[in-house]
């Protein structure tokens, strides 16, 4: 059953992503998570990132013909997936799922709707997670595909580590769902002045493997295209 919330007209409607985004606690915790990671030298994990991940998750789930309510819940999971970083980077999917439960429960969401969201959040990291549902798989592909120079938060080029350099090197990033051959393709344009394709694989290979396994969950093939060349 869809979670419903009252409106000013006295009717009821399902809890939406916009409701979650408007919650001041959610905004503050996402800001706090990004500030913590920024202080540790990580790339951006704030509102920009979760917005892009939610958008890609939506596109994948809609492309698969999933029910509209499942699409909405997937977007909510995407919006909250990194919120656990407000505590610590270590085990952030687990702490994030706990935080998400508290927030969504406070907002009146039914446990039956919260459950798949928690599973998706708790399994989005490649070291400890796996695609446990179609929603989870879509979120994983969306999350791991967000590689882009705009994510770099370090203002000093001379102090870039490999993660900064690889993200900074990606000038364009696009996810396409090719339904005719059941393929999801991540297309990157990399400026080799800042990082090589081999360096990209050095830090992202495990993520690409997780994307492949996630696509297999819903019967698709994952393909990576870098500078016009298909690499997998």
Residue 213 sits in a domain whose CATH number is 1.10.3210.10
What is the domain range of residue 213? 13-230
Provide the pLDDT confidence category of residue 3 given band limits of 50, 70 and 90.
Answer: low
Query: Phi/psi zone of residue 10: left (φ > 0), alpha (ψ -120 to 50 degrees), beta?
Result: left
pLDDT of 13 reads 75
Does the pLDDT value for residue 203 go beyond 90? no
Give 191's contacts (C-beta < 8 A, 6+ positions apart). 169, 170, 171
With vertex at residue 117, the alpha carbon angle to CA 207 and CA 141, rounded to the nearest 5 degrees, is: 25
Residue 157 included in any domain: yes
Residue 5 included in any domain: no
140 in Cβ contact with 129 (< 8 Å): yes
Residue 1 included in any domain: no
What are 10-48's pLDDT values in tens digits? 445 789 999 999 999 999 999 999 999 999 989 999 999
Does the pLDDT value for residue 193 go beyond 70? yes
What are 69-108's pLDDT values in tens digits? 999 999 999 999 999 999 999 999 999 999 999 999 999 9
pTM equals 0.92
Q: How many domains does the chain have?
A: 1
Residue 3 included in any domain: no
Residue 2 included in any domain: no
Residue 213 included in any domain: yes
pLDDT of 162 reads 86
- State CA 218 to chain mean position distance: 17
pLDDT of 9 reads 42
Cα–Cα distance, 172 to 65 (Å, whole number): 27
Residue 90 included in any domain: yes
Does the pLDDT value for residue 6 go beyond 70? no
């Amino acid at each position: 059953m869809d979670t419903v919330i009252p409106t000013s007209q006295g009717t009821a409607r399902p809890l939406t992503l916009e409701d979650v985004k408007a919650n001041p606690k959610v905004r503050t915790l996402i800001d706090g998570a990004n500030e913590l990671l920024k202080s540790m030298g990580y790339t951006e994990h704030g509102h920009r990132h979760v917005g892009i991940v939610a958008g890609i998750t939506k596109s994948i789930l809609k492309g698969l013909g999933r029910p509209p309510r499942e699409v909405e819940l997937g977007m909510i999971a995407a919006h909250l997936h990194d919120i656990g970083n407000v505590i610590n980077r270590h085990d952030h999917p687990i702490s994030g799922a706990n935080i998400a439960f508290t927030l969504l429960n406070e907002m009146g969401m039914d446990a039956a709707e919260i459950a798949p969201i928690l599973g998706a959040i708790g399994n989005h990291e490649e070291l400890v997670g796996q695609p446990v549902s179609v929603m989870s798989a879509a979120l994983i592909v969306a999350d791991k595909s967000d590689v882009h120079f705009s994510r770099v938060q370090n203002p000093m080029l001379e102090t870039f580590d490999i993660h900064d350099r690889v993200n900074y090197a990606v000038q364009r990033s696009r996810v396409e769902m090719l339904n005719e051959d059941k393929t999801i393709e991540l297309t990157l344009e990399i400026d080799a002045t800042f990082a090589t394709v081999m360096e990209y694989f050095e830090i992202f290979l495990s993520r690409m493997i997780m994307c492949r396994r996630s696509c297999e969950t819903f019967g698709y093939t994952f393909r990576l295209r870098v500078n016009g060349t298909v690499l997998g």
